């Protein structure tokens, strides 16, 4: 399996209809917005969805969500130190038995999301080993998504609990609540895959194809009461594959060549010798 041989840039255009794409827990779980009222979905949220889609497809993921956990591990440390095939065993993280370089290679070989996004492994000192702290930088980066226009947010009062004890006449203090949604908006996010960092983690051309495969399905299997099935949909994935590891253009110039409009349509400025692949949403 050869490491990544070409620099890659990508963009995702998607729609939100009557859904809360990324609630802000510090603001009553209202959809995130910037100071100008444009909708925002954090990069952490988007990477969570990529991880979930890869895990659903059967690939080993280190940072698993509680809802999709498949191995019963109660923490990342437990997963890392579990025996194969789940983890690597405690000896892999013992600095007396493995150098940081050796451990880094093992964790990147074991988990796809680690060699893609990177990870910090920080375990405290135990009786039989010194503490360990290993930081791995991944080649896949993705920006926060922003709406093309300021978003309209609708807030609705709801009943979020029912009486389950006593004679049914006493209401709980948290009976009523609020539910928020973005009415209708187009969002866009940009990302890149850097060969220089792929060399460090072993991220390959095949891994890049896996990422490309799941991006059009980013919101499949992600339904909840805040995001009903079909309320969020990928419209287009734009995939630029450069002709070398260094790339013909900077990521900033490539991303700026895409102009997305409020109705989901878009224009792509021509860049010499760099033609994008246009992929329809699932």
Task: Kindly report the average pLDDT of the chain as a whole number.
Answer: 92
For 17, counting Cβ atoms within 10 Å of its Cβ (0-12 exposed, 13-18 middle, 19+ buried), the class is: middle
* pLDDT single digits (tens) 24-55: 999 999 999 999 999 999 999 999 999 999 99
Indicate whether 262 belongs to any domain.
Answer: yes
Confidence check: pLDDT of 167 > 70: no
Using pLDDT thresholds of 50, 70 and 90, give the confidence band for residue 127.
very low
In angstroms, rounded to a whole number, what is the distance separating the alpha carbons of residues 52 and 65? Answer: 8
Q: Which residues of 79-104 are buried (b: 16+ CB within 10 A; e: fewer)?
A: bbbbeeebbbebebbbeeebeeeebb
Q: What is the tally of structural domains in the chain? A: 1
Q: Give the rounded distance of the alpha carbon of 249 from its chain centre.
A: 25
In angstroms, rounded to a whole number, what is the distance separating the alpha carbons of residues 113 and 32? Answer: 25
* pLDDT single digits (tens) 53-108: 999 999 999 999 988 898 999 999 999 999 999 999 988 988 888 999 999 999 99
> Regarding predicted confidence, which is higher, 193 or 95?
193
Indicate whether 213 belongs to any domain.
Answer: yes
Report field, pTM of the whole predicted structure over 0.75: yes
Structure token digits, residue 282: 């699932």
Predicted local distance difference test score (pLDDT) of residue 132: 77
Predicted local distance difference test score (pLDDT) of residue 96: 84
Structure token digits, residue 14: 């998607």
- Pick the range with the lowest mean pLDDT from 14-23, 63-72, 110-119, 189-198: 63-72
Percent of the chain clearing pLDDT 70 (strictly above): 91
Predicted local distance difference test score (pLDDT) of residue 62: 97
- For residue 216, what are the domain limits? 8-61+143-161+174-280
Of the candidates 2, 220, 192, the one whose C-alpha atom is nearest the C-alpha of residue 116 is 192
Indicate whether 111 belongs to any domain.
Answer: no
Confidence check: pLDDT of 2 > 90: no
Indicate whether 255 belongs to any domain.
Answer: yes
């Amino acid at each position: 399996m050869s490491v990544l041989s070409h620099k890659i840039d990508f963009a995702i255009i998607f729609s939100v209809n009557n859904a809360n794409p990324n609630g802000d827990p510090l603001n009553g779980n209202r959809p995130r917005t910037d100071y100008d009222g444009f909708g925002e979905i954090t990069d952490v949220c988007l990477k969570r969805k990529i991880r979930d889609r890869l895990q659903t497809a059967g690939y080993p993921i280190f940072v698993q969500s509680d809802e999709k956990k498949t191995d019963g591990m109660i923490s990342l440390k437990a997963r890392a130190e579990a025996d194969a095939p789940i983890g690597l065993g405690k000896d892999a993280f013992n600095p007396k038995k493995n150098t940081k370089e050796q451990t880094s290679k093992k964790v990147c070989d074991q988990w796809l999301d680690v060699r893609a996004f990177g990870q910090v492994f920080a375990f405290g000192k135990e009786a039989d080993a010194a503490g360990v702290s290993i930081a791995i930088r991944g080649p896949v980066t993705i920006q926060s998504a922003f709406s093309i226009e300021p978003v309209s947010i609708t807030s609705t009062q709801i009943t979020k609990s029912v009486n389950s004890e006593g004679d049914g006449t006493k209401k709980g203090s948290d009976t009523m609540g609020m539910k928020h949604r973005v009415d209708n908006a187009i969002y866009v996010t940009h990302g890149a895959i850097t060969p220089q960092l792929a060399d460090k983690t072993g991220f390959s051309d095949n891994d890049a194809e896996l990422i490309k495969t799941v991006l059009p399905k980013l919101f499949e299997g992600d339904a909840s009461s805040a995001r009903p099935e079909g309320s969020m949909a990928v419209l287009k994935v734009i995939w630029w594959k450069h002709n070398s590891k260094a790339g013909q253009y900077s990521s900033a110039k490539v991303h700026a060549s895409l102009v997305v409009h409020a109705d989901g349509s878009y224009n792509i400025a021509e860049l010499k010798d760099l033609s994008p692949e246009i992929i329809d949403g699932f």
